[in-house]
Every structure is written in structure tokens, then in C-alpha cells.
Amino acid sequence: MPKLKCLNKILMMGLTIVAAIVFSLTVNAQTAKQHKYVIIGYVGGYHGLVDTTMVHPSKLNVINYAFVDVKNNRAFLTNLKTDTINFQYLLNLKKINPDLKVVISIGGWGWSRNFSDAVLSDTARQAFVASAIVLVRKYHLDGIDIDWEYPGMIGAGNIYRDSDKHNYTLMFRDLRHGLDSVEEETGKRMLLSAAVGGFKTFLLHTEMGKVAQYLNYVNLMTYDYSHGDSVAIHHTNLFASKQYSSNEYAATAVTDFESAGVPANKLVMGIAFYGHSVKVIDNEQHGLGAKVVGGRIQIGGGYTFIKDSLINKKGFKYYKDKNAMAPYLYNADTKQFISFDDEWSVKNKCRYVHENDMAGVMFWEYSSDKKEYLLDEIDNDL
């Protein structure tokens, strides 16, 4: 009897351990599912043929193909020959990652001129929506991203009206209806997203609380904050800097969009794979906050070039603004200031995404960091 009791005790202990392991695995699996963050990468088809050997689909959930133009109230492929080849190349990446989504992004800075006309009336809007849905069906794509820069505001010389505010909402309502029809026909999940200005003025010209109900993701363009500024500032900082005065930075964009009615779990943090460079008037504060005197450019070669060729090289010294969670370079001899995202700032942005229950991150754009320094950081963090 004592031996039998001992064997029973051992058996019960074994069953308890197995049950504990199963429970632990189940909890971990559920936790992993709950914390699945989206990683969206913009791929620039306007460059011509895409080098898909540089794209690693295992590190992405969604590819937003940029850009489809708007012409005569229609979604329009301006580079039909290369666009169609690019679609096939990108869709072939699903052989590596079957869950990858390939989405067309309509608009962009240089292709937003005709949005206002395209959604001005019910007839125009329905024609535009129908043409976009045709592209999705014809090329077996997974959805639509709208990058209207900007409704109700001037962008790169685009047409704009006060009526854009409500028409922007109606456009997404009708796009969602069209994509739902495709979803029913194909059984494939269809995505609808918006790339939006990461600043408060954008919210004054849109009804984002209403728009959000139709969207899977709201891609915050939390970069280019330095565009047109008279002093050298960060172009993609997470928080406010104490070295200059500005109300535009990523964290405030998140809270502003939430206040406007956009759920945090639809908000996607924008990351810049490129840098901005300006020349300043003096060497105070290592250029940060100094008056700009010219030379404003986007750094060719993006972050790969910045990391490999400029950080603590060629007279440039690397600095961290720990209040803003933003790095920068400064060359005291040439008085050149460069703002960008690096692994440190990306890690902090991903932590912010975790802590604030956001949907994930997106980046502009793939070819600006061909060695994938920043994408690897995102992949590790999310």
C-alpha cells in the first residue's frame, strides 16, 4: 500500500506539472495573439521597377504600394507597365509570407491634386470608388490606403474646398462598402487605411472620429515636422524638445487623434527611414533650434547612408535629445544639421506603441534603408 500511495502521488504530481505547462502555453499563446502589432512598409513604385530582393516579407504585415494617381475622378496607374510588374513581384512575396497584405496607396504629396474633385459629388465619388475597387480586383490586391495631402488644405498645389471635410468621410464610407463586397466574393480580408497628417490642423479639416469606423488603420505621418520651419528642429521626434518651442511631435499627434475619436488600437506610429538636412546660422546648441539659412534637403540614401557614412564621420557628431527621444547630427565646420530616426529613437517609438496599446508602426519608405537597420530594430521590438 505505501508503494501504491507513493506511485499515485508521483502520478498526480506529474499530471499537475503537465497541466501547468499546458496552461502556461495557452496563456502565452493568447498573450502573443493579443500583442500582435502590425508593421506596414511603404514601397515606392514611382521609382520604377521595385527591387524585391531588398524586401523581406517575413518582417512585414502590410506593403503599401505608392502611389496610384487620381485623374478624371478615377484611381489611375500612371506607370502602367512597371506598376503591373511590381504588383506581381510583390504578390509573389506571399510565397514566403502567406499572411502578407499588398495594398495600393492612392495619393501622396505629389498626387493629391484631384482628390477634392473626385469626391465632390455623389456621381464623382462613386466613379472614383468604383475605379479603385476595379484595381483591387484586377490585380488581386488586398485593399486600399488613401494618402490625401490634405483635405481642406493646400498641399503640393492641390485643389481644396471646405466641403472636403465631409466628403473625406463619405469617400471612406463608400470605399469600405466596396471592399466589403470584394471580401464577400473572395473570402479574403480587405484592408482600408488612411495616411494622415500627424498634426492638429489635419483634425480640424476632417471628421476622423467618423472616418475611423470604416478604417482598419490610421497611419500617422509623424515625420516632416521640420518642413518649412525657420529654425532647425527634429523632423520625427516622439516628444517635445526643450531646445525650441513646438506643439508638433508624435506623442501629441497620438493623443490628439484619440481625443478626436480614433481608437488607439487603430493608430499606427509613423517612422522615417530618411533624414532632413539644413544649414544654420551659428553653432549654438549644436545647431538644434538655430536659425536656418538654407540648404534644406532630404538626405539621399536615407538611414543606411546616414549610419554608414555620416554618424561621427566627415565632421558630423552624433547627439541625442533625450527629452524629444530624437537623435541628430551636427557639423560645426559646415554648420549642417541633420534630423532622422535611428535604432534608439525607433526602440523608444516601439515602446510607446506597446505602452499605449497602439496598432503598430509604419515607415516611409523601404528603399531609404536598404540594409534594413531600422526595420530590424522594429522587428526585434514588435
Tally the domains of the chain.
1
Q: φ and ψ at 95, to 5 degrees? A: -65, -30
pLDDT recorded at residue 2 = 45
pLDDT recorded at residue 10 = 42
HEC assignment per residue over the chain: CHHHHHHHHHHHHHHHHHHHHHHHHHHHHHHHHHCCCEEEEEEEHHHCCCCHHHCCHHHCCEEEEEEEEEECCEEECCCHHHHHHHHHHHHHHHHCCCCCEEEEEEECCCCCCCHHHHCCCHHHHHHHHHHHHHHHHHCCCCEEEEECCCCCCCCCCCCCCCCHHHHHHHHHHHHHHHHHHHHHHHCCCCEEEEEEECCHHHHHCCCHHHHHHHCCEEEEECCCCCCCCCECCCCCCCCCCCCCCCCCCHHHHHHHHHHCCCCHHHEEEEEECCCEEEEECCCHHHHCCCEEEEEEEECCCHHHHHHHHHCCCCCEEEEEECCCCEEEEEECCCCEEEECCCHHHHHHHHHHHHHCCCCEEEEECHHHHCCCHHHHHHHHHC
**Is 279 part of any domain?**
no
**Is 150 part of any domain?**
yes
CA gap 86, 72 in Å, rounded: 24
**Is 19 part of any domain?**
no
Q: Quick check: 306 and 368 in contact, CB under 8 A?
A: no
pLDDT recorded at residue 109 = 96
Q: Which residues are catalytic?
A: 149
**Is 294 part of any domain?**
no
CA gap 253, 211 in Å, rounded: 17
Show the domain range for 87: 34-272+341-381
**Is 77 part of any domain?**
yes
- The single-letter code of the amino acid at 217 is Y
pLDDT recorded at residue 62 = 98
Q: What is the CATH number of the domain that holds 371?
A: 3.20.20.80
Q: Which grid coordinates belong to 276?
A: 532632413
Q: What is the dihedral sign for C-alpha 118, 121, 124, 125?
A: positive
**Is 281 part of any domain?**
no
- Beta strand 292-298 with 316-321: parallel, antiparallel or unpaired? unpaired
**Is 346 part of any domain?**
yes
225-257: burial string, b at 16+ Cβ within 10 Å, e else:
bbeebebbbbbbbbbbbebbebebbbbbbbebb
List the one residue out of 55, 68, 44, 199 whose CA is nearest residue 145.
68
Q: Is 99 exposed, middle or buried (0-12, 13-18, 19+ CB in 10 A)?
A: exposed
**Is 152 part of any domain?**
yes
Per-residue pLDDT of the chain (382 residues; tens, 9 = 90+): 444 444 444 444 444 444 443 444 443 433 334 448 999 999 999 989 999 999 999 999 999 999 999 999 999 999 999 999 999 999 999 999 999 999 999 999 999 999 999 999 999 999 999 999 999 999 999 999 999 999 999 999 999 999 999 999 999 999 999 999 999 999 999 999 999 999 999 999 999 999 999 999 999 999 999 988 899 999 999 999 999 999 999 999 999 999 999 999 999 999 999 999 999 999 989 999 999 998 788 898 999 999 999 999 999 999 999 999 999 999 999 999 999 999 999 999 999 999 999 999 999 999 999 999 999 999 999 9
